[in-house]
Amino acid sequence: MCEPMVIFWTKDKEYRGATALDVVRALESETSDYPYREKSVRRFLLWSLDQLSGQIPPRELHLSGTLEDEALALNYLYLRDEYGAGNLHIGPESS
């Protein structure tokens, strides 16, 4: 049986994880100019969305204070996909 897999592509790289949070943490670890390593995922998402403000409309840049980290990470990846700042695929892992 295939396990679910989250795959996210940027123009430079492919990121894979069992969850959206795994993928976002991988993005964080490879973002060379991110100054707050291993802090809250919210902090990375806010920073990253600020960096993408030229591609994503300002009305989309607010993070809900009530969502869990996994839901925020998934919404972030969907938002990037929707506005052309990456491509998201969620489905079974292919061998």
pLDDT in tens, 7-64: 999 998 999 999 999 999 999 999 999 998 878 999 999 999 999 989 988 888 888 8
14/11 Cα distance (integer angstroms):
8
Select from 75, 89, 72 the least CA-distant residue to 8: 89
Global pTM? Answer: 0.87
Token duo for residue 6: 């989250």
How many domains would you assign to the chain? Answer: 1
36/95 Cα distance (integer angstroms):
35
Q: Which domain holds residue 20?
A: 4-92
Select from 8, 11, 3, 30 the least CA-distant residue to 76: 8
